[in-house]
Amino acid sequence: MVLSPGDSGETVRQLQRRLGAAGFLSFDEVVPGSYDMATESAVRAFQSDRGLEISGVCDDTTLQTLVEAAWELGDRPLSLRSPNLRGDDVAELQRLLSRLGFDCGRIDGIFGQLAHRAVTEFQTNAGADVTGICSTETIGLLRLLSRQTGDGPGISSVKEAESLRFGTPLAGKRVVVGQFGGYSTLAADLVEALRDHGALVMSSDDPDPVSQAASANDFGAELYIGLEAVDERRSMVTYYQVPAFESATGRTLARLIERHLRDVLHRPTVAGMRRPVLRETKMPAVLLTLGPEDEVVARGQRVAKAIYLALKALSS
């Protein structure tokens, strides 16, 4: 479902309620049930705050993020389920566990196997009932012990930063190159360059970012490089970042790619965001948003070489 300016009805009213609950909209500012300028402005503000593409249009990703934003830690028991529980409450749990030294992976707001293991380990160490379920008792213990910790980045950030510091050779590294339409030739050039230098590479043309991320996770990838086309003349390299977590390797790789692209494409920029493919991948990942397509394709080999050189520099 996509809601955009000019739409009206009960679904828009529900959107306005969610924006209000998240603190981005007051009903005094809008016409209830009308996707007016104030509603669009609130959607843009929410998208900016959550590291989403700022469009002013409420797409599926924006709506799902709004739904997740409604959950606070303690609103519900958190446990391993299929599909995984998602929400701001999960992200807060991950943040607390990570600060206490229990590795639950990156802080992505998804209660998966690593979060389940971290909860179990915490309960064991805290002398609580070992259930793997984050209950009211577990939350109370977490908050009590967290008062004795500082405001550091947490173990997940530290582990990734340490991995980056020591580096690993490009030869033998498992890399996924994904593209979302328009850049199949560019992706093929990059795959060839990486394979020529010993990397184990999987490519993906799946249009769904969540499916691409799942394939990369199943492949056991150590790095993910995504390519997407836009109509406007811009070049952006994004990596995963939320208020409580930043991918150190993703940030470094994004900056290296930006540096190598400066002489190839128009004013490349770098940003930390919560785009779906960056959130769902379990390894350091970057997404290159490039356009216009004809201009980028014409310089495809130079673009592929710039990305390869950045990967090589990261691995040295």
Which amino acid, 226? G
pTM of the predicted protein model: 0.89
| Vertex 145: Cα angle to 88 and 93 (nearest 5) | 15
What's the pLDDT tens digit per position in 37-68?
Answer: 999 999 999 999 999 999 999 999 999 999 99
Give me the pLDDT at residue 214, please.
Answer: 97
Q: How confident is the model at residue 30 (pLDDT cuts 50, 70, 90)?
A: confident
Give me the pLDDT at residue 162, please.
Answer: 57
Give me the pLDDT at residue 165, please.
Answer: 54
Strands 234-242 and 269-273: parallel
For the chain, the structural domain boundaries read 10-69, 88-150, 167-315
Give me the pLDDT at residue 161, please.
Answer: 59
Least confident of 44-53, 139-148, 303-312: 139-148
Give me the pLDDT at residue 147, please.
Answer: 81
Q: How confident is the model at residue 154 (pLDDT cuts 50, 70, 90)?
A: low
Class of domain 88-150: mainly alpha
- Is the pLDDT score of 221 beyond 60? yes
- Is the pLDDT score of 170 beyond 90? no
- Is the pLDDT score of 166 beyond 90? no
Residue 261, Cβ neighbours under 10 Å: how many? 23
Give me the pLDDT at residue 156, please.
Answer: 63
Give me the pLDDT at residue 28, please.
Answer: 86
Output the six-digit token pair for 215: 């394939």
Q: How confident is the model at residue 1 (pLDDT cuts 50, 70, 90)?
A: confident
Q: How confident is the model at residue 33 (pLDDT cuts 50, 70, 90)?
A: very high
Report phi then psi at 216, rounded to 5. -65, -40
23 Ramachandran zone, left/alpha/beta (phi>0; psi -120 to 50): left
Query: Helix, strand, coil: what percent of the chain each, to 5?
Result: 50, 15, 35
Q: Name 239's bridge partners.
A: 272, 286
Determine the average pLDDT of the residues in 297-302: 94
Percent with pLDDT over 90 in the chain = 83
Q: What is the largest CA-CA distance in the chain?
A: 62
Class of domain 167-315: alpha beta
Average pLDDT of the chain is 92
Class of domain 10-69: mainly alpha
- Is the pLDDT score of 243 beyond 90? no
Output the six-digit token pair for 305: 């070489």
What DSSP line would sit under 86-112, residue for residue?
Answer: BSHHHHHHHHHHHHTT----S--SB--
10-69 shares its CATH topology with 88-150: yes
Residue 161, Cβ neighbours under 10 Å: how many? 16
Q: How confident is the model at residue 27 (pLDDT cuts 50, 70, 90)?
A: confident
What's the pLDDT tens digit per position in 53-106?
Answer: 999 999 999 999 999 999 999 999 999 999 999 999 999 999 999 989 899 988
- Is the pLDDT score of 155 beyond 70? no
Report phi then psi at 246, rounded to 5. -140, 135
